[in-house]
Structure 1
Amino acid sequence: MGYGVRETRPTGVTLAKQKPARSSAALKHTVPAAELRWRCDPKSIAAHRERPNDENDLIGQARALDALRLGLTLESPGYNIFVCGSSGTGKMSTVRALLANRPSRQRALNDYAYVHNFSDPDRPSLLRMPAGEAKRFRKELEKVVHDLPDIVSRVLDSEQVERRRERLAESYKQLEREAIGEFETTCSRRGFQIAQVQVGEMQQLEIYPLHRKKPVDIDELRELAATGKARVPNIEEIVTAHEGLEAELRAILLHLRKEARRMHGEIRTLESDAVTAALRDTFADVVEQYPYDGISRWFDGVTTAIIDNLDAFEDQEEGENGRERQGHLDDLVRRLGINIVLDNEGATGTPVVFENFPSFTNLLGTVERPTDDTRGTVDFTHIKAGSLLRADGGFLVLNANDAASEAGVWRFMCRVLKTRELEIQSPEQAMAPGQSSALKPESIRVDVKVIAVGDDELFRLLYSNTDEFRRVFKIKADFDDEMPRDDRHIGLYAHHAWRVQREESLVPVSDEALGRLVEHGIRLADRQDRLSARFSDLTDVLREAAHYARVSGADLVLAGHIDKALAERRRRHGLAEEKLHELIRCGLVDIATDGEEIGAINALTVLDMADHAFGQPCRVTASVAPGTDGVISIEREVELSGRLHDKGTMILVAWMRARYMPDQPMCLSAAVTFEQLHDELDGDSASAAEALALLSALAGVPIPQGIAITGAIDQRGNIHAIGGLNEKVEGFYRLCVFRGLTGRQGVILPHDNRRNLQLEPEVVDAVASGWFHIWSVQHLDEAIELLTGAPAGAPDAAGRFKAASFNGRVCTRLAELAILADPQSRRAEPKPTRSKRAATHVHDE
């Protein structure tokens, strides 16, 4: 249909031979073609080419910018920022631009690392040191750990330690020789002898009585005496003496074992003292280089752990014992490592972290499960930091809606911001805090300012239901989706387009094309005095227009390229619109655009397919008969209407009752419906059409089918503004173009909606040439006169209408229906009911 092409009349359409004369009512309410579309003078664009632009005001969001600047500079607790507003209004790009030129928070950057807690292994210890120190500390520590076996071995094998160890061992051996020697003398005096006997892999002392000067086992001697094989007259005395000596030997061996333990303890103390002194000398150099909180204390734990595992540093044996000792040594070396969770080496200025995937783990960190550790142990090496820690001392920017998609993220993030303490834990542990075996790393004191970019709905949800959210997100930067249409903001549009053209190396843009882009911004804003702030949509149109210009070989993006980009967008997204309009065009959906009919009118609706909204004409019909059922909305009855539509229908009936039958019950059985509409509908913008269809059926006056109407009525009959105006008008215009313009077709719209008009140029041209019409009205009476050409009629002092007027005919018909409903005027009141139908129908009692 050639959208955007200026013609003296529409092309490619069927026209009547002669345009009909206009009535006085039509002329009175006609909207001039000049008001149907605001046009941008290219000269106003050219004037801005020589003017500098303040990049900070690029998007024209003064309120949001002031809020962001306050939040970025105010350092008091809780002044984190929630940026909300419609998609495409430049929220994230504005945040990026402000952070790029932000004032420094002047926070000293730190490195953070976790080490094994030797006193409580389930609670790893935190080490904090200035930026860049963690890696250097780790390298120094790796050297020390590598040298530990040699250091320990040198100490244990030193001549001084070995000499003192031998003295202690010799002292014990001397004590052992003396004790056993004395006991051996005692045994000899009593006729006994001691000997070492092999028992398994051990040797032990045994006491034997002497028989015929030879040692004999006591049990064997007792058996010889009992069987008479040997003459042992004092066997009982020998047995008693043997038992006494055994008791004496046990006491001696017990004393020797105590002395051996004492000796080994002294040797271990000797070795421990020597190793401890050597380790302190070794660690002192490291502590002196890194005098930060926790490092000296941690090295004390390291020393204790080495002392407790000195056996692991001894020369390895072959076999099972050797493998076990090596395992202990490997475990000890692993516990002497360091896990750097935040390394700020080389970082300068204030950190700014953009978290693109704000999951629980990515934001708050986690304790990872081991993947290659066959023992399945979880320790300090499995702790992983998140972006909240990486942004410590600076700013963290995230998508609020993405963060809300995972349970617990917002709750735990707000808790960190409130307490300023970050406890790294796995999501499973956070959701089930009673796990006794879970690792509990030492918490980290953090200072981070969060900027969450989301939408209004999420902000309201969090603000209404989360007390912690209100405490920590005290700044709301609310982005408007529109701005005033004045010279300054038109200049912002132009400078934005020029900046995109430079940054993306697009084809240069002409002033006429920019003017057309401004006109499209008005269309998106849905008001002639406003411009859309959805810069992402506008930028996409500019990119596509530049593409068509480049493909065509043009040196400039012209207005026609903008028109083509918009037309192609409509075509790409307009399959559903095309299918629905095809149903109307082929007659499967019956909508007339010519002739007259009683009780029928064309209403205008909008179908929003998320990516594309378009107008759909719809035939509204009404039927009237005697009865007391009231006015029935068929859509309401079959549950195809929403609450707003039902409200509009009820307002319509209330208006009729108050205007036409204020002193007596209004008795009729009427039905109003949207013909061939099988989807659910909502909104009250068709209540004026429903009212006119019903009044036409009552008055018996036909309505011209070439005129459609949109508008919502109140209980005084006033017609109020509605949404989707441009799409509704254009939808009906396209149908009329297909059927053939007669010069009698047009749309009636609310007077308050005139400022919302930004119609396609083709529609404007059709109106300018008189082949299509746009009228605006403020009251139903004006619409009645415009549609019927007859006076609507005004009530006299008694509230009565002239019988010849339209409203008089309505009153006459209502009186007739009342008589037909009950000729004897004995109408019984309907019984109360709680059914939906009773709530829907309006009765006068």
Structure 2
Amino acid sequence: MPVNRLEADQVFQACNLEQLQFETTADLEPIKELSDALGQPRAVESLRFGTGMEHQGYNIFVLGQSGTGRHTMAAQVLERQLKKLSPPDDWCYVNNFDDQSRPKKLHLPAGKGIRFTKDLEKMIKDARSVLKASFEGEEYQHRAQAIGEEVKERQHKAFKEISDRATEKGLTLLRTPGGLAFAPLDKDGDVMSPDEFQQLPEEKRQNYEKDMEGLQAESQKILEKIPQWQKEIREKMEALNKEITEKSLTQLIDGVKAEYAEIAGIPAHLDAMKKDIMDNLPAFLTGDHQQQQGPMGAKPQQSSMPTGEETDMDSPAMRRYKVNLVVDNSKLEGAPIVFEDNPTYANLVGKVEHMSMMGALVTDFNLIKAGALHRANGGALIIDARKVLTHPGAWDGLKRALQSNFIKIESLAEMYSLLSTVMLEPEPIPLKVKVIIIGEPMLYYLVQQFDPEFSQLFKVAADFDVQMERNGENQELYVRLLGNIVAKQKLLHFDKSAVGRLIEQSSRMMGDSERLNIRIRDINDLMLEADYWARQNKHETVRADDVQKAIDSKVFRSDRLRRRIQEEIHRGTLRIDIEGSRVGQVNGLAVMMLGDFAFGKPSRISAQVYMGKGEVIDIEREAKLGGPIHSKGVLILSGFLGARYGTEMPLSLSASLVFEQSYGGVEGDSASSTELYALLSAIAEVPIKQQFAVTGSVDQYGRVQAIGGVNEKIEGFFDVCRHKGLTGSQGVLIPATNVKHLMLRQDVVEAIARQEFHVYPIETIDQGIELLTGLPAGEPDEQHRYPEDSVNGKALRRLRIFADNMSKFGKGEESPGERGDRDS
């Protein structure tokens, strides 16, 4: 069946500007519901379901290619769902006065955390001022003096009594470096000298000694009572101090306690704080660092009284009474939406920082820092899949928090039991959060396969597409989307022709005339560059030629290698024939990708056949340059040849296929039809016209199947023909199923319109071989015989010759060549 070449309107689906009911994008109504207007109903519904589902495990994995607006749409859907909720609680850490290594958590209604922090700091400062004033006041001084006078009075009374008794006995009380002593007095009332004492009568001297021993014993008893009296004085002073402290603190603390009486944990914390202040009153009053140990037991460097209000609460003696507000939701409207750009383990679950003191690293509860899970608690957390999976410990930490519903702050070394040093163990905080992970589809399926816990924690997949159907309704929404981009980026307005060119290029990006590209980043970048060229050309609006200039400029910046390959083809270094006919040689087409730039590269594919055992040797595979899909395509050729020619006789041939002048890897099956044409030409010894290039895969029944990159492949061969000279007979054979994908460059479309270049849609191998050789393919009769002058007939006749010769060799018969050699 003859193949009709495609017309110009079949290789490029132009935008009908009459359907655009505006002059510039200034006339367009903006899109307010962006997430509903981008051809992503499946993804949007998944996001809505996942955010609305409150049961555990219904977290969301957003999968799709970058640039499709995944972050924006996820944030918009979340904001719409979560702004209806009330802001979650604030979270604080406070000192555990029973065990400083285990700080306690407190949670307060949103906005009250900062108030409580300030109220408590003010209360502590007021308490210091009030207590200092109380202890410096006259009442306290009088009572303290009275207590001090009491011990002096008791001591004075006791010593006076013993001194009076001594006087009655003619003795006096002496205070010596060795303690108290008694000595007799002479008749003048002076202390008797030792000589005088020795001259006394024996009896009187013994009476003195006896009295002195008795009084000495009594004085010793008095001395022994002095520590007890001093202890009693201290106890009375402590009682007085506690009385004054209790009286001063109670009023202040009760005021704060009344304000937060219904918040769990705060009254008990205030009571514990009051007790600790009373137990450590000197340090509290003076701020003396030596009176109070530093964070986690470290001894501070200074011992001076704080000099200002700013340093009061920062001294080690006072830090224990502060409040560490780790999560402050006072400014939130609705539930929080947190995007963590750097999801390390510490940035997710929080950390405990350290500070240097006396050459050592120390810490306390004030150095606890919240992570993204703390900030997102009660709302949603958005993170990038690749980042969270590659940061050490981050993925395990996130899973553990979601499984336990608690955020436990610990270091990586603790988590992996690599550290035995005493560290802070903050009380875990209850977790209620919706986690949205955004990543490529490959990551989603890999993690789903290799992590058994993944499916339990991320039960919702929001799958983002990169394309939507190009119809009237979608095109209208797409145009409004372009208007949104103009407004958001503050670009010059685009006129109707520019918008039409953007729509055409959008289909070109997708490689499909019936689809539109919804990778917003690609369109956004193109519009930014078109705006640049419009401003360079001093246009008031962006026009179609500005858009085309942006397209051409981007290609020019990326196509150095393409131009180099084209140059080498034109110079004859790379051999591509576009005239004449060759047996077993066809122009194939491949696509090369350099980042986001793709271009077609013509290649010469050749085949050789000879007697053998029915093997088709893929030289690329044998040289380890061919990929598995390409090897599969070659094996399909063997199936086709066997089914067509080997039903009544064995295929007694071997064949070799190769991409000539190819020095890199070959992958894909898009050249399998090309290779089959080369094989048929070599077997039938029928030359193929070199003005054609071919692309398309083939199945075992000879049906030509669709391939990718069809536009780039056609343009790659067109560039070769244009530089060598268009003759009007050159063209490309493509699968008929690829016609809907055609969005060719304008210069190619114009050449097709002038019939200088042609594109032929092929459905079967027989259609293609007829066009390539100019001979009929041939239809088999009832005896499975083909016409002699057909390609199939010539191929079958050659294969029979191979089979006969193989049969003769098998029987040991000599070939004519061997007999001639022997006779000579």
Counterpart for residue 130 of structure 1: 109
Contact 2:693 2:731 in 1 (8 A): yes
Q: Provide the C-alpha distance between the structure 1 equivalents of 2:253 and 2:357, rounded to a whole number of angstroms.
A: 32
Contact 2:58 2:460 in 1 (8 A): yes
In structure 2, do the counterparts of structure 1 residues 143 and 314 end up closer, same or farther at CA, with 3 Å as the change threshold?
closer
Contact 2:31 2:480 in 1 (8 A): no
Counterpart for residue 280 of structure 1: 250
Contact 1:59 1:90 in 2 (8 A): no
1:783 corresponds to 2:768: yes
Counterpart for residue 281 of structure 2: 310
In structure 2, do the counterparts of structure 1 residues 134 and 527 end up closer, same or farther at CA, with 3 Å as the change threshold?
same
Counterpart for residue 722 of structure 1: 707
Q: Provide the C-alpha distance between the structure 2 equivalents of 1:194 and 1:145, rounded to a whole number of angstroms.
A: 53
Equivalent AA in structure 2 for residue 31 of structure 1: L
The offset of 1:530, in angstroms, is: 1.7
Q: Provide the C-alpha distance between the structure 2 equivalents of 1:142 and 1:799, rounded to a whole number of angstroms.
A: 101
The offset of 1:529, in angstroms, is: 2.0
Equivalent AA in structure 1 for residue 32 of structure 2: E
The offset of 1:585, in angstroms, is: 1.4
Q: Structure 1 regions of 5+ residues with no counterpart?
A: 1-24, 217-241, 828-845
Q: Which has the higher contact order (CA 8 A, sep 6+)?
A: 1
Contact 2:586 2:604 in 1 (8 A): yes
In structure 2, do the counterparts of structure 1 residues 207 and 704 end up closer, same or farther at CA, with 3 Å as the change threshold?
farther
Counterpart for residue 469 of structure 2: 484
1:531 corresponds to 2:516: yes
1:55 corresponds to 2:25: no
Q: SS of 1:823's equivalent?
A: helix
Equivalent AA in structure 1 for residue 715 of structure 2: E
- Equivalent pairs counted in the alignment come to 775
Contact 2:289 2:316 in 1 (8 A): no
Contact 2:82 2:379 in 1 (8 A): no
In structure 2, do the counterparts of structure 1 residues 149 and 38 end up closer, same or farther at CA, with 3 Å as the change threshold?
closer
Equivalent AA in structure 2 for residue 719 of structure 1: V
The offset of 1:512, in angstroms, is: 2.4
The offset of 1:657, in angstroms, is: 2.5
Counterpart for residue 365 of structure 2: 380
Q: Provide the C-alpha distance between the structure 1 equivalents of 2:794 and 2:807, rounded to a whole number of angstroms.
A: 20
* Mean CA deviation greater in 395-404 or 311-320: 311-320
Structure 1 counterpart of 2:448, from 463, 484, 506: 463
Q: SS of 2:582's equivalent?
A: strand
The offset of 1:433, in angstroms, is: 7.4
1:110 corresponds to 2:80: no
Counterpart for residue 60 of structure 2: 81
The offset of 1:515, in angstroms, is: 1.8
Q: Provide the C-alpha distance between the structure 1 equivalents of 2:613 and 2:213, rounded to a whole number of angstroms.
A: 124
Q: Provide the C-alpha distance between the structure 2 equivalents of 1:274 and 1:168, rounded to a whole number of angstroms.
A: 15
1:734 corresponds to 2:719: yes
Equivalent AA in structure 2 for residue 28 of structure 1: V
Contact 2:600 2:717 in 1 (8 A): yes
State TM-score, norm by structure 2: 0.83
State TM-score, norm by structure 1: 0.81
1:604 corresponds to 2:583: no
Q: SS of 1:591's equivalent?
A: coil
Q: Deviations over 1:75-122 (max 9, x none)?
A: 444443332222222223333444565563322443322222211111
Q: Provide the C-alpha distance between the structure 2 equivalents of 1:317 and 1:583, rounded to a whole number of angstroms.
A: 85
CA RMSD of aligned residues (A): 4.2
1:141 corresponds to 2:135: no
Q: Provide the C-alpha distance between the structure 2 equivalents of 1:312 and 1:509, rounded to a whole number of angstroms.
A: 73
Structure 2 counterpart of 1:814, from 779, 788, 799: 799
Identity of aligned residues (%): 34
The offset of 1:649, in angstroms, is: 1.3
Q: SS of 2:241's equivalent?
A: helix
1:64 corresponds to 2:43: yes
Q: Provide the C-alpha distance between the structure 1 equivalents of 2:228 and 2:645, rounded to a whole number of angstroms.
A: 118
The offset of 1:714, in angstroms, is: 1.6
1:677 corresponds to 2:657: no
Q: Structure 2 regions of 5+ residues with no counterpart?
A: 184-191, 196-211, 293-300, 307-311, 813-824
Counterpart for residue 327 of structure 2: 342
Q: Provide the C-alpha distance between the structure 2 equivalents of 1:693 and 1:676, rounded to a whole number of angstroms.
A: 16
Contact 1:60 1:492 in 2 (8 A): no
Q: Provide the C-alpha distance between the structure 2 equivalents of 1:247 and 1:636, rounded to a whole number of angstroms.
A: 116
1:268 corresponds to 2:238: yes
The offset of 1:342, in angstroms, is: 2.3
The correspondence of residues 427-466 of structure 1 with structure 2, limited to 5 A, is 427-432=412-417, 435-466=420-451
Q: SS of 1:597's equivalent?
A: strand
Q: Provide the C-alpha distance between the structure 1 equivalents of 2:94 and 2:180, rounded to a whole number of angstroms.
A: 51
Q: SS of 1:784's equivalent?
A: helix
Q: Provide the C-alpha distance between the structure 2 equivalents of 1:647 and 1:432, rounded to a whole number of angstroms.
A: 51
Counterpart for residue 353 of structure 1: 338
Q: Provide the C-alpha distance between the structure 1 equivalents of 2:798 and 2:194, rounded to a whole number of angstroms.
A: 144
Contact 1:312 1:326 in 2 (8 A): no
In structure 2, do the counterparts of structure 1 residues 504 and 197 end up closer, same or farther at CA, with 3 Å as the change threshold?
same
Counterpart for residue 475 of structure 1: 460
Counterpart for residue 42 of structure 1: 17
Q: Provide the C-alpha distance between the structure 2 equivalents of 1:674 and 1:155, rounded to a whole number of angstroms.
A: 99
In structure 2, do the counterparts of structure 1 residues 44 and 250 end up closer, same or farther at CA, with 3 Å as the change threshold?
farther
1:32 corresponds to 2:7: yes
In structure 2, do the counterparts of structure 1 residues 206 and 706 end up closer, same or farther at CA, with 3 Å as the change threshold?
farther
* Mean CA deviation greater in 343-352 or 572-581: 343-352
Equivalent AA in structure 2 for residue 473 of structure 1: F
* Mean CA deviation greater in 794-803 or 720-729: 794-803
Q: Provide the C-alpha distance between the structure 1 equivalents of 2:534 and 2:288, rounded to a whole number of angstroms.
A: 83
Q: SS of 1:774's equivalent?
A: strand
Contact 1:311 1:325 in 2 (8 A): no
Equivalent AA in structure 1 for residue 791 of structure 2: F
Counterpart for residue 6 of structure 1: none
Q: Provide the C-alpha distance between the structure 1 equivalents of 2:432 and 2:341, rounded to a whole number of angstroms.
A: 20
